[in-house]
């Protein structure tokens, strides 16, 4: 269950949240199950936060810091995560269908069994990411970095791959 005080503060916007976060670095962030669909959270610092099962549908998370965040089973469909830092984030079973992850950092992230159907990962960094069982059906991965990524069972049907080819 989400911490209501933290949720209320976050809904006041990224600037207010980031000021509070800077002054309260030791506080654990728990927003489990919160409804943040359509939220405007550009450049927000949610690093190390517990965001399990959070609804981020159509949220603006451009340039957000989600480093080491727990986004297990989160709904990020249609969210704008362009240039977001999702390094080492737990995105197991997350819904990222039609999400914009252009230039996002997903280095060492765990995307096992995540849905990324029609997602835009143009120039995204997936270096050493765990993509086991992830569904990239019809996703754009053109110029994405996939070095040392774990690809076992990954579905790339109709995806545009880093070299520009379409895998069918």
pLDDT on residue 83: 98
pLDDT for residue 141 = 96
> What's phi and psi for 95, nearest 5 deg?
-100, 110
Which top CATH class is 1-168?
mainly beta
Q: Residue 168's pLDDT is what?
A: 58
Domain boundaries, the chain: 1-168
> CA–CA separation, 103 vs 60, rounded Å?
15
Q: What pLDDT, on a 0 to 100 scale, did the predictor assign at position 166?
A: 72
d(CA 152, CA 60): 31
Q: Which residues of the chain have pLDDT under 50?
A: none
Q: Are 66 and 84 in contact (CB under 8 A)?
A: yes
Helices and strands per DSSP (H, E), number in the chain = 2, 2
Are residues 159 and 141 in contact, defined by beta-carbon separation less than 8 angstroms?
Answer: yes
Encoding tokens for residue 162? 């880093």
pLDDT of amino acid 36: 98
Q: Which helix (H) or strand (E) holds 6?
A: helix 4-10
Contact assessment for residue 49 and residue 29, using Cβ atoms and an 8 Å cutoff: yes
């Amino acid at each position: 269950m989400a911490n209501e005080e933290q949720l209320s503060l976050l809904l006041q916007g990224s600037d207010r949240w980031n000021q509070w976060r800077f002054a309260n670095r030791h506080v654990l962030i728990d927003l489990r199950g919160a409804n943040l669909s359509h939220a405007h959270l550009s450049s927000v610092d949610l690093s190390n936060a517990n965001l399990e099962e959070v609804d981020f549908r159509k949220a603006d998370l451009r340039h957000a810091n989600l480093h080491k965040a727990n986004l297990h089973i989160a709904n990020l469909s249609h969210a704008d995560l362009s240039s977001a830092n999702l390094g080492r984030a737990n995105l197991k079973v997350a819904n990222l269908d039609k999400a914009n992850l252009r230039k996002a950092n997903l280095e060492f992230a765990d995307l096992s069994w995540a849905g990324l159907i029609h997602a835009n990962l143009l120039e995204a960094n997936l270096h050493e990411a765990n993509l086991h069982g992830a569904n990239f059906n019809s996703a754009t991965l053109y110029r994405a970095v996939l070095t040392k990524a774990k690809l076992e069972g990954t579905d790339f049907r109709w995806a545009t791959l880093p070299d520009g080819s379409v895998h069918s």
